[in-house]
Amino acid sequence: MPLQSLRGCSGIREEVLGKQMESLETIFLSMKKTIEEFHSIVVSLEKILRDGRQLMKGGSISPSTKQMQLRIGIRPSLFDCLEGLRIIFEMHYSEYLLKSSIVSALSLKSSASDLGALNQLLIDQPNIPKEEVQFIFDIIFAEEIC
């Protein structure tokens, strides 16, 4: 019975379609904004890594390979720090490439459930192994943990 009463309302179909299109546009804009924010994080990680490498090369006396791997007590070596940063950057960069390619492949013919799932994919934390990141942090911050 309720369907019959809706069919009697003039313009209801167009109104619902219009609202759905507005909602779809909002979802697309939200996904684009999320991708842009994630990209800025990736760019920041890349800059930190590049600056760290430059600091190692830029001094008047560049550290030798042995010095790069030297540890003092439980403190990480310079190599450990740079390598951990490189791994974290690469994880985030790969995640960014995946998510941005998914968003760019979307079309207006995507179903609502597809868009909802993809929006959730973008909102979720990066698909990065938590244990691997924790392992890197445990090495870098070993002194503070003990």
What pLDDT, in 10s, does the model give residues 65-76? Answer: 777 777 777 788
Domain interval for residue 22: 2-145
**86, 88, 91, 94: CA torsion to nearest 10:** -60
User: Is the distance from CB of 79 to CB of 52 less than 8 angstroms?
Assistant: no
Q: Whole-angstrom Cα distance, residue 139 to residue 145? A: 10
State how far Cα 10 lies from the chain centre: 45
Residue 107 has pLDDT above 70, yes or no: no
Q: How many residues does the chain have?
A: 146
Mean pLDDT of the 82-110 span:
84
Query: pLDDT digits over 75-84, tens only?
Result: 888 888 889 9
pLDDT exceeds cutoff 70 at 146 = no
What total of structural domains would you count in the chain?
1
Q: How confident is the model at residue 133 (pLDDT cuts 50, 70, 90)?
A: confident
**Per-residue tokens: 29:** 């804009």
